[in-house]
Structure 1
Amino acid sequence: LAIYYAGSLKRWRIVVRDEVQRDIEKQRADEDIETVMWLNTLLDRFWVTMEPVISAIVVEQADPILQMYRPSFLDSLKLTTFTLGNKPPRVESVRCFPRTDDDVILMDWRVGFLPNDLSDLTGLQAASKVNPKVTLNIRLGKGMVGAGMPIMVEDMAFQGHIRLRFKLMRDYPYLKTVDVMFMEPPRIDYKLKPVGGETFGFDIAHFPGLPTLVKDIMNWVLGPMMYHPNVFTLDIEGLMAATALQDRAIGVLKLTVRNGKGLKNAEIMGSSDPYCKISISGRGELARTKIVPSSLNPIWDETHFLIIRSLNEKLQLEVYDDNKMKKDSPLGDTSFDLSLLEDDPEHEELIQPLTFRNGKQQGEINFGCTFYPVTEQQQALDEGLDPFASGKGVLRITIHQAKELDTSKSLVGQYNPYAIMRVNGKEVHKTKKLRRTNNAIWEETFEVLVYDLEKTLLNFDIKDDRGVAADPIVGTWECKARTAIERTTKQDNWFTLSNAARGKARISCVWMSITDIDMHHAGSVPEPIGIVRLHLQEAKRLKNVEGVGGGKSDPYVRVLLANQSRARTRVIEDDLNPIWDEMLYVPVHSERETLVLEVMDFNAHTKDKCIGSCLVKIADLVK
């Protein structure tokens, strides 16, 4: 019993001691401020190697940003010098607040970057001190006749008291929000020399009243945003989600534009020559059908495949009359809400009226659409599927940057580079043009449809913008799409440029596959489902479309499918009751297709004239 009592008392004392010590630590944490000398010691040791790397990264990354916001009257705007000096920033104190919710971290940081404070430096360190300096080189004029002028900012200093609040979450990225707040206005100092450079430059802070004006403007802008009690919130979760999903393909729309009926006649003589333009939410033309000459009931029977990035948009179909000598005339338009594809991804038979801008309706258009979602490569692998099995899908290409370009092809040692990407020889993207740099950063992303991955070839050219002269090629790269995807997965996406002494480009390719879709190039012919046998026997009482003194029509029959001639009979000369008695065979690819039988008048020296036509629906033959 005595042993049990002694053991119990000992355990009780340990528990009490731990509880008391924990309460004391919490009380101390609420009141004490940590000096974090260990962190400042690490900064002192590492700053010698860290600062040159940080400065080099800033110089490299700043160029494309400066070019993006370069005023039009400047030929170039370049960051030539950036150094933070050899005295590191210091964390003066850190205070943590433990009495918060379990998913909240609350901290106060006092930080300072005071390179001109010599109180904590030895005499040798003070003698060898390097001050922070930033030099911008602006270039006026164009080409080789331009003149450069430096603008310098020196001796920057900063001191502030910042409160940070981190909101955690269980899922990636594990950090939901970050609240930033200055507990008091920060102290910022600098020397600005806009003209004259380092030798003759004059610090504009010497102008009476100007430093106070700049400080008041800064406080006026930042105060309502992040001075206590105002909080500036960074939505990390939202930013990560937006970055991941921004302009990313979610699927492919198979759109079949079949025919129009009862269209308005916009011609004074003859009939309209209609075609259909396809777009999504008015963001520019994505595709268009062929032109059907002289018809108010055109049959297009064309299938187009469109990359879809959101179902909260509208598909727009606009019908126009093709005019050779003037602007094409509108024949009406219609739209389809893509959100309807969420519940039912297949709408094969849509007949909608065509509406003019004044609200009037005339004619209708028949079309169908089916939505196919894409599957990302990693998702397919997680589900035990082969992401490359179908060979069809969307290829997301990002042109990141190029570096160490071969300067031997430049007249001034620097390029105005831009890049062109081609897929199977067809240009699909051209980057923005940068100014006076041999280390280009574009970071431009686009997506292309791929119909056969194994046969898809990527061609990449970097060119130098010479203005009026022809733009020479600085370097090229060629690679199979499958190889580029695999190297991107391995994070080995720096590619050596050919046709150049040196130079590299970083390009990423991400694959998103589509299954259960018969996808083919626009204008190409898919595999047929059968063959229609047509027995063209005779025609009676045809209209004579020959001019005065031209005799009678010379009729023949041509069979059109998807506005393309698939077969035709022989010509019977000078006969309005021709007898052909011929068998024609036409492959068909869908039950929804329609054959057009046109009786034409043959003319040896002018365009053949249409005498009349009739329609044969494949669906009626299948029944």
Structure 2
Amino acid sequence: MLILLFFLMLQLPLIFFTELQAICKTIKEITQPMIEEYSAKFKFDSIEFERLTLGAFPPTLQGIKAFDTHESEMIIEPALKWAGNPDILIAVKVFGIRATIQLVDLQFSGIIRLTFKPLLSSFPCFSKIAISIMEKPHIDFGLKLLGGDLMAIPILYGYVQDMIKKEIGKLYLWPKIFHLVLLDESEVSMKKPVGLIEVKVLYARNLRKADIIGKSDPYIKISLGEKGFSKKTQVKKNTLNPDWNETHTLVVQDPSIQVLEFHAYDWDKISSHDKLGMETFPLASLEPEVPKCLTLNLRKNMDDNDSVNQKLRGQLVVEVTYKPFKQDLAVQKETEAMTSGPPQAGGLLVITVHGAHGLEGKRHTNPYAKVVYQGEEYKTKPLKRNRNPRWPDGEFEIGCDKPPLNEMVRIEIMSKSSRFGIHLKESLGYKDITLADVVENRRINEEFRLNGSNNGTVHIELQWLPTASAMPQ
């Protein structure tokens, strides 16, 4: 954050000049409603800009304050001063008579809060700026009409100053916010999880014999097409008619386009696993919370014109249920508070290890994060020689069939040696977190001190996204 802040401050003059036209356009858009209001109030025929440039002198930075919120944002409050030489000419027409008013010697000083969010890994590093003025600013300028300075008239000077400060306060004085959008939301936002798909793999019949001696050792791999996001059943030894009765959950991001993929394999201890068959099923065919039993005819590939698919490769029987997340969490929390007992429906546990600070390894500091939940381990990639790492791959999504009220998750920071030797790995610290508060509050975002470390801390965000069936009917 400090690097980004330093970069922005260095680029302030460059931003001012390169974005000059955009700034002038924004000024016109902002002032247009005010102009229309005062035109109607004082019976002017029209008020419009003839010229609008901000001159050659950028604002100067008098001081700055930064805030750390642990969110995907950066908040700064620069104290700015600007004594510019703008060329602003306004044409006023009243009762058919046209006159021009020139604004000169503009001065501005004040404290502005700038919130850059969300933070991005690529330029321009954020998609939106929220702008607020923290206190009434000092504004001074001259107005020339027919060669004379109108602001030299004391009564008029005071009236104009009060009017401008009042209007600025109505629009931008904290907590009022002006949003400056740099990138469209669709360009920067990743699809967020919207629900879970629960898949009960029941049984398969008449699978293909793959082993020379014996039958097959089948298992089923289930996915939504994305690489790395899949679930597997247990291997059933020496059978062409296996029974599983296993339930697996996958995270859904867009049920209108995502497709369930089922791949049957013959497990092999030595060579690669043989493909027994496959089939797909579109999620768009499912109704929320309504179980659907499917009998899938397995085939070799998804090419309908391939003659090899005419040969039957067995059948797979599954039951699938789409469980969307409840969107209005405030209503859900209120409803649950009025009912006795905790919610029993499942949901998605999202664990994000954003980064760590002050890590110290005895032999090496190549840190990676390890999340341990119910015996399963999830890991980030290690970062070489880094005492203050930020992991871009630190988000893990875990489907749960019930709220993890009595569960605990351990986040451990490990270091992996880049060389061969006896000390390949060492722990840099850990933190155990009970999940009852996460379920109750839906979200926790904090920096925790690492146990087993002198000064190390870890920034962890946990979210609980319950499915809609968590709502009492």
Please say if residues 377 and 512 of structure 1, whose CA atoms lie closer than 8 Å, have aligned partners that are also in contact. Answer: no
Is 1:402 aligned to residue 348 of structure 2?
no
Please say if residues 401 and 440 of structure 1, whose CA atoms lie closer than 8 Å, have aligned partners that are also in contact. Answer: yes
Match of 2:193 in 1: 249
Letter in 2 for 1:30: E
SS in 1 for 2:292: strand
Q: CA deviation at 1:456?
A: 1.4
Match of 1:423 in 2: 373
Letter in 2 for 1:19: K
| Of 186, 193, 217, the match for 1:238 | 186
Distance 1:424 1:374, change over 3 A: same
Higher Cα radius of gyration: 1
SS in 2 for 1:440: coil
Match of 2:224 in 1: 280
Please say if residues 484 and 493 of structure 1, whose CA atoms lie closer than 8 Å, have aligned partners that are also in contact. Answer: no
1:215-226 equivalences under 5 Å are none
1:574-589 equivalences under 5 Å are none
Please, what TM-score do these two structures have when normalized by structure 2? 0.58
Please say if residues 359 and 457 of structure 2, whose CA atoms lie closer than 8 Å, have aligned partners that are also in contact. Answer: no
Q: CA deviation at 1:321?
A: 2.0
Q: CA deviation at 1:298?
A: 2.3
RMSD: 4.2
SS in 1 for 2:50: helix
Match of 2:51 in 1: 31
Higher RCO (CA-CA < 8 Å; seq separation 6+):
2
Is 1:461 aligned to residue 406 of structure 2?
no
| Of 390, 393, 396, the match for 1:441 | 390
Match of 1:269 in 2: 213
Match of 2:43 in 1: 19
Match of 1:566 in 2: none
**In structure 2, distance between residues paired with 1:496 and 1:95:** 55
Letter in 2 for 1:354: L
Please say if residues 274 and 322 of structure 1, whose CA atoms lie closer than 8 Å, have aligned partners that are also in contact. Answer: yes
For structure 1, the residue ranges without an aligned partner over 5 or more in a row are 1-13, 62-86, 100-173, 179-232, 518-623
Q: CA deviation at 1:385?
A: 3.3
**In structure 2, distance between residues paired with 1:515 and 1:261:** 34
Q: Which moved more, 1:460-469 or 1:375-384?
A: 375-384
Distance 1:298 1:436, change over 3 A: closer
Q: CA deviation at 1:421?
A: 1.2
Is 1:338 aligned to residue 289 of structure 2?
no
Distance 1:401 1:327, change over 3 A: closer
SS in 2 for 1:271: coil
SS in 1 for 2:268: coil
Q: CA deviation at 1:97?
A: 10
Q: CA deviation at 1:271?
A: 2.0
SS in 2 for 1:375: coil
**In structure 2, distance between residues paired with 1:94 and 1:445:** 51
For structure 2, the residue ranges without an aligned partner over 5 or more in a row are 1-37, 74-79, 93-176
Is 1:302 aligned to residue 263 of structure 2?
no
**In structure 2, distance between residues paired with 1:309 and 1:16:** 51
Distance 1:501 1:488, change over 3 A: farther
Letter in 2 for 1:304: H
**In structure 1, distance between residues paired with 2:235 and 2:91:** 73
Q: CA deviation at 1:17?
A: 8.9
Distance 1:367 1:476, change over 3 A: same
Please say if residues 278 and 300 of structure 2, whose CA atoms lie closer than 8 Å, have aligned partners that are also in contact. Answer: yes
Please, what TM-score do these two structures have when normalized by structure 1? 0.45
Distance 1:376 1:32, change over 3 A: closer
**In structure 1, distance between residues paired with 2:321 and 2:81:** 60
Letter in 1 for 2:467: I
**In structure 2, distance between residues paired with 1:306 and 1:466:** 34
Count of residues in Structure 1 that have an aligned counterpart in Structure 2: 327
Q: Any idea what the Cα deviations from partners look like across 1:147-202, whole Å, max 9, x if unmatched?
A: xxxxxxxxxxxxxxxxxxxxxxxxxxx98985xxxxxxxxxxxxxxxxxxxxxxxx
Q: Any idea what the Cα deviations from partners look like across 1:265-314, whole Å, max 9, x if unmatched?
A: 22333322222221221524622222333322222222222222221111
**In structure 1, distance between residues paired with 2:321 and 2:369:** 35
| Of 302, 317, 335, the match for 1:384 | 335
Is 1:500 aligned to residue 456 of structure 2?
no
Letter in 1 for 2:316: I
Please say if residues 418 and 432 of structure 1, whose CA atoms lie closer than 8 Å, have aligned partners that are also in contact. Answer: yes
Distance 1:93 1:418, change over 3 A: farther
SS in 2 for 1:448: strand
Please say if residues 223 and 250 of structure 2, whose CA atoms lie closer than 8 Å, have aligned partners that are also in contact. Answer: no
Letter in 2 for 1:448: I
Q: CA deviation at 1:473?
A: 1.4
Match of 1:375 in 2: 326
SS in 1 for 2:405: helix
SS in 1 for 2:298: strand
**In structure 2, distance between residues paired with 1:344 and 1:422:** 31
The alignment-based identity, stated in percent, is 22
Letter in 1 for 2:241: N
SS in 1 for 2:384: coil
SS in 2 for 1:385: helix
Distance 1:292 1:419, change over 3 A: closer
Letter in 2 for 1:274: P
Please say if residues 51 and 89 of structure 2, whose CA atoms lie closer than 8 Å, have aligned partners that are also in contact. Answer: no
